[in-house]
Structure 1
């Protein structure tokens, strides 16, 4: 997850990291002065971008509609973490896949969804289909802790119901393959989940 407290910083991060999903805090107490301009600049040349925008409960409809597009979602009043995560999960499904395929790069680890290849430090890594989906999820959310329930739902499309062992098993498979004799990238956050960094 990348954060920015000013318009210029947000636009620069979006350009550097090829951002496709944005969370913007439009509540009066947290709102940056250039928010409208920042959102407009972030959307330039990014027709596929989606956003989750947070508003005060008394925000006028005109304000909400001026910042949101049909691809976005918004929340008003109480902003809950669990509800935000659910909405972000749904928003990711609205972002179309690139025609050229998705290419993710974290440090010396590279994943190309179009060719279905994974390399680390230039060395090819052979992954099963499930391992590939798991690694892609972790790389898409690099530096963000993902709970086991979210991993299970997005990789296997199961509801979390005592299937923690399945997640742990496949995490160990992927770790062995991408960390073989190299620095660790997948970290366990006790009681919270897993993060790739």
Structure 2
């Protein structure tokens, strides 16, 4: 859960699941309310219901390209800034993206920190500021500004890696985060074959955050881990 001022709403549109997850997680960690779509048609439907303040839009989608999605958005009255995300790097492609009405053009591969910064710039241009997140689940609270985690009001001392893992899971509370996604986001590179490193750090985090009668981090067998939202 995010606390504080109303979060800026961002719609991420990309048909590559891992990229969509990483971008959405980075934006959520920056305090933004994020929804994702994996096609042009679902993006248009979500834009109508979610009413985003900004969009991160991949150009090469499976059903329709990002330029057509942008034209449809504008025809429906959506004026939110659009940041194109693409593997196309030529000057001609950049010009096409910007002249099509895009507010920025980000090429893959990209640094997540730079993408977040560009989204913030686009939001500021519209007069919308993003909030600093305080994430919580039950009596566990993560304050990203203070870089601190507390449980029932008491500070929990985490290693830097444990903190990143805790923040990733809290940011995606209610969603299952796969082991591969954890490796990509926390360690920022892929392991060859199976590795017990994720299980090791999950176990360490559980020892510091779980109560004897209630488990905060749940295992979804064969998939990954999740923090369930309180019912």
TM-score by length of 2: 0.55
Partner of 1:160: 191
Which runs of structure 2 are paired with 1:46-125 in the superposition (5 Å)?
A: 49-51=54-56, 56-57=63-64, 60=68, 63-64=71-72, 66=74, 69-71=81-83, 73=85, 93=113, 94-96=115-117, 101-125=132-156
Cα-Cα RMSD:
4.0
Change over 3 Å in CA distance of 1:178–1:154 after alignment to 2: same
Whether the aligned pair in 1 keeps the contact of 2:169 and 2:226 (CA below 8 Å) is yes
Query: 5+ unaligned residues in a row in structure 2: which ranges?
Result: 1-5, 10-27, 87-109, 121-128
The answer to whether 1:176 aligns with 2:184 is: no
Q: How many residues align?
A: 163
The TM-score, its normalising length taken from structure 1, stands at 0.63
Q: Distance in 1 between matches of 2:43 and 2:171?
A: 27
Q: Aligned residue for 1:7? A: none
1:118-157 superposed matches below 5 A? 118-157=149-188
Query: Where do 5+ consecutive residues of structure 1 fail to align?
Result: 1-10, 44-48, 75-89
